[in-house]
Structures are given as C-alpha cells and as structure tokens.
Chains A and B, each alone.
Chain A
C-alpha cells in the first residue's frame, strides 16, 4: 500500500475550509456568552418551580445557582427532549453509565422476575424473555450532561416521586396502531444520577396489552438508588453470534464480503474446499458439504425432542417454543409502511403473520490431518440471502436463523480421513427456505484474510 499515493487523494484544505476553522476559533467565546444569558433565564424558572412545589430551599438554591435540574422541551410534533443541564448546547443525545451506584427496586408486580446488574435491570413476567406480558427495564446514568430526545411522544407529564422530579412520557408506536409504551426519567439530584425507566410490550395482535399504568407508578415509587463500590460499566461493541470466531464482527465480515462479491456459492450436495488457519496462522485445508437437509414434518407436534442428533446439551431459544416445548408455528410482526421520524411524524404500520418451518442439516467436514477446536476457527451461521444482501429478518419473507448447532457446546476436531459432522437447526418462515443459506466464514488471525462460502439448501 503506497501511503503517499493515498495521502494526496484529498489534497490540501481549501481556503474556504481554513476560513471556517478560523471563524470557529475566533468565535469560541461567543458560545460562552450565549450560555451566560441562558443561565439567568434558568434562575427565574428554578425559582418559579420552588414557589409551586414548596421544596426545601437548599436544593432549589443549588439548582438556581448551577441551573441544574430536570427539564423537558418539546421538539417538533412528537419529540420531547429531556435534559438535566439546561445549559447544554450539545445537539447530540448523551448518557453515560453511572459508576458506584446501584438500583434498589423494592416493588415489582406479582409474577415478575428481575435480571440484569447493579446499574441496569429488566423485569419480565415469569422471567420469560418472549412472554406476551408487558415488561420493564431500568438504567441509571450520570446526571452531568444527560440529554435524551424521546420520540413518538403523545403525552408528557412532570411529577415527583420521593422528592425527585420525574418526567413521564407516553409513546405511540405508529399512527394507525393503538399500542403504547411509557418512559420515565427520574432525577436523583443528591446522587448526581438519572434513572431511566421503560415500560413496553412486544406482543402483537390480540396478545398485546398495554403496560398497567397503576403498576408503572408503583414501580417508580418503589425504586431508589444507593451508593456502592466502584462498579464501572464496560460495553463490548460489535455483533458476535454464538459459536462465532471470538473477537470478530462476523456479521460485518459476511456483509462486507457479500457487498464486494467476495464469496463462493455452493450448490446443494456439492462439496467445497475451505482454507482455515490455526491459532499460529498455519493454513490447513478442509472440505465441507451439506450431507443432509430436511424439513421436520408433523409440525403440529414438533418439539425440542424431535431434533435430529440434538442430544440433551442443546439449548434452544424460548422464542420458538412454548412452555410445553412445542414449536410456535405462527407469529405476528409489525411492518412499517411509512417511517416517521418520531419528532414530527409517527409513521404507519400494519401487522403480518408468519408461518414457521423448521429444518435440520448435517454439515460434514473432512480433512487430511488433525485440526483441533474447529468451532473456534470457523463460523457457521444461517441467513437469508436476497437481492445481494444478507438478512436475518425480512419483512416479506420472515426470519432465517440458525437456532442451534452441535458446535456451540462441543469441541469439533477433525482427524485424517475421518469426517466430522456438525448438526444445525434452522428456522425459516413461510417460503424463505429458498433464500436460506448456511454461511461458513473463516478468518486467518495473522493475515486477517477471510473466506466466505454460502451453501444453498433447496
């Protein structure tokens, strides 16, 4: 790569650009003057609030001096901007995870179970992720600089819980849907934190019921914050599927390969040769084919026990199976017909029903040498492939997804001339099996070269 060649690609900054830089530097202090003017306005608002709410003078005086409090301001027709520092002129939403603070929830509706951490909790009925019942979550953030733009808002209410100013917003998903959800932002001034609540339901059609507003109030009332040890929040970015090559954004690599037409298509029954690299970067050759592919029939009674070669170690998602372990054959999704921006428009939606089909496949791998831990060297996934792009969920064709693989929980090893089989299970909705592909991705950790093979199934 000739660096000099690249560096000249955009040339030197133009006079206009330089002038813009100088202009900004010249006016740096102008922004500060604007902020000072706002501060005076804030004092008047804070004093008025004190007169109405009759709160103790100390916190109000502090708020008046620092112009620090919880503020809401409408944006467009359906937007509400919630901020703590009314001096903030930042145009971006901003929320930083709070450190050294934990959420203490003393009330939960009957049947709801908690999961999460000190600073982020969610509650679901019976602890079930895919329940039809509404669910709620809480997250705590630093108050300093906090700014969020709530969208799709149809009602805003300012109130107080336990002396903490709280803004509750009611939201609608779209113009032609009756489904609503609630958000609440509570300001814990003494802790320098903001607690954000969300109450929603993912259920569709007749199964949907709005979050119970009386319970919403009880939940907010029954939640407070406490100081704790220095627990810091650390987030991993990027998408990594189960069983994927650790440290790589596998979906991104696959998508990039598709965009750049850098992949191989393998027809049903055909074999392909793939290069894999072990942890030392040494390249080895394997051949791969789909040996067996079948739709499991008798879907009326299909259950976890029916999976081909699944064994007891397989953990299948509750999303696809009901409490009795039977496959959920149909489900409903909300499709957006017209997107709203949530500020000036809500958008339009309709509901669509999908029929689930379950397929199982055996992926046979042959090598002429021993290769250990193959499941950490290659990534097997399932996606839809249509119009030159990969998808897991398409609004017309529904979902294509790999929902289990024997490689998730068992180490896969090849030996000379001794094929090894990985059994996988796929969900394909409606007719989407024609678009379904089992994807095979390998990445050489030393050279960063990747190979993508897409196996057609039908």
Chain B
C-alpha cells in the first residue's frame, strides 16, 4: 500500500476514529493523543494488514487497543479528566450520549460499532476478538437498555 493510499483511507475513517475514541475516552485531548498513536502504529504495522478492504476494521482495532491502554494508564494514575464536551451539542445529542454512557462498557462499545459505525457482526467479532454469539447478545441487551433509557 502506498503512503498516499494509506493517507486517503485514514481520512475516510476519520469520523469513525473520532466517535470510537470519544465513546471510550470522553476527553478531546486524550482522543487526539490516541488517534495519533493509532495512525503511526498502523503505518508501522502495515505489513500485518493482509487485505486492503479490511483496513478500517483493522485501524479501529488498533485504536481501541490504544484507547484501552490509555484508560488503564488513567485509572492507575487516578486521573479524572472526563470532559464530556457537551457544551456545543444540542439537547437531543446530549440525551443520546448520556443514554449510551449508561450502558455497560462492553455493550456500549458493541452498540457504537454496530449502529453508529455500521460495522457488521462479523467485523465487530474481528475488532473486539469475541465470538459472534457474544456480539449478538450484547447488541440485543444494548437495544433493550437504550429503548428503556430513551423512551
């Protein structure tokens, strides 16, 4: 893959990278750090990517790993830097985001990847490295909980 192709694919994935990192880190500054690390890591590990059509799935997986590492570092150092950044959002956006934030973390992650980022069940299985049955049960539970929360 050429550098130009890599750049194009990253830019195409920018919105996804933003939403996934914000859903996990909830802090603009941490998201900016995480996405830089993820992009540089992905470029170094390009030889790991077997097929170009899996680029987005693969890049999201790297980003989730980077975000998880940042969350572990954050909890170890007791940094409470959650910055929901809701001031610029409308009331409906805030309501939806708060409903999502109330979901158990693993269910929230799966719901976001499926309903917002529109990854398939199979792709989510590869990103999160969980069985297909688990993806489906998390989505089902997520639907129920969001329905209760947003109704």
Contact = CB atoms under 8 A, between A and B. Distances in A.
Contacts of A449: 140, 144
A81 interface: no
Contacts of A247: 131-133
Contact of A1 (B14, B37, B115): B115
A90 B137 contact: no
B69 A11 contact: no
Contacts of B129: 237
B40 A24 contact: yes
A24 B39 contact: yes
A166 B121 CA distance: 43
A76 interface: no
A29 B4 CA distance: 12
B96 A253 contact: no
B49 interface: no
B70 to A, nearest CB: 11
Given A16-B32, A236-B131, A256 B107 contact: yes
B137 A450 contact: yes
A6 B15 contact: no
A113 B116 CA distance: 52
A221 interface: no
Given A10-B19, A10-B22, A21 B10 contact: yes
10 contacts: A5-B96, A6-B115, A8-B96, A10-B23, A13-B17, A16-B32, A24-B35, A24-B36, A238-B134, A256-B106
A89 B44 contact: yes
Interface in A399-448: 443, 447-448
Interface of A: 1, 3, 5-14, 16-21, 23-25, 27-29, 31, 89-92, 236-238, 247-249, 252-253, 256, 259-260, 341, 443, 447-450
A450 B144 CA distance: 11
Interface residues of B, number: 62
Interface of B: 3, 6-7, 10-11, 14-15, 17-19, 22-23, 28-29, 31-33, 35-37, 39-41, 43-45, 65, 69, 76, 85, 88-89, 92-93, 96-97, 100, 104, 106-107, 111-112, 115-116, 129-134, 136-141, 143-147, 150
A261 to B, nearest CB: 11
A29 B6 CA distance: 12
A355 to B, nearest CB: 35
- The residue among A6, A7, A253 with the most chain B CB atoms within 10 A of its own CB is A6
A341 B77 CA distance: 12
Given A16-B32, A20-B35, A28 B133 contact: no
Given A24-B36, A24-B40, A25-B39, A1 B146 contact: yes
Contacts of A89: 44
A90 B140 contact: no
A204 to B, nearest CB: 28
A248 B139 CA distance: 13
Contacts, number: 143
A10 B18 contact: yes
A366 B15 CA distance: 53
B145 A9 contact: no
B10 A12 contact: no
B141 A21 contact: no
Given A20-B35, A20-B36, A448-B137, A7 B116 contact: yes
A237 B127 CA distance: 13
Contact of B44 (A9, A27, A31): A31
Given A13-B15, A13-B18, A28 B130 contact: no
Nearest to A30: B40
A16 B10 CA distance: 16
A21 B11 contact: yes
A21 B40 contact: no
B43 to A, nearest CB: 5
Contacts of A6: 96, 100, 111-112, 115-116
B137 A20 contact: no
Nearest to A18: B14
A3 B113 CA distance: 12
Nearest to B129: A237
- The residue among B17, B33, B40 with the most chain A CB atoms within 10 A of its own CB is B40
Contacts of A21: 10-11, 14, 17, 35-36, 39
A1 B110 CA distance: 14
Contacts of B145: 260
Given A31-B43, A248-B134, A17 B96 contact: no
Contact of A11 (B3, B11, B93, B136): B93
Contacts of A447: 140
B93 A8 contact: yes
Nearest to B38: A24
Which 8 residue pairs spanning A and B have beta carbons closest together? A448-B140, A13-B18, A20-B32, A24-B39, A247-B133, A9-B96, A24-B36, A9-B97
Contacts of B100: 6, 9
A90 B39 contact: no
Contacts of A5: 92, 96, 150
Nearest to B8: A25
B139 A448 contact: yes
B116 A9 contact: yes
Given A12-B18, A16-B29, A256-B138, 7 more contacts: A7-B116, A10-B19, A23-B36, A28-B43, A237-B130, A448-B136, A448-B137
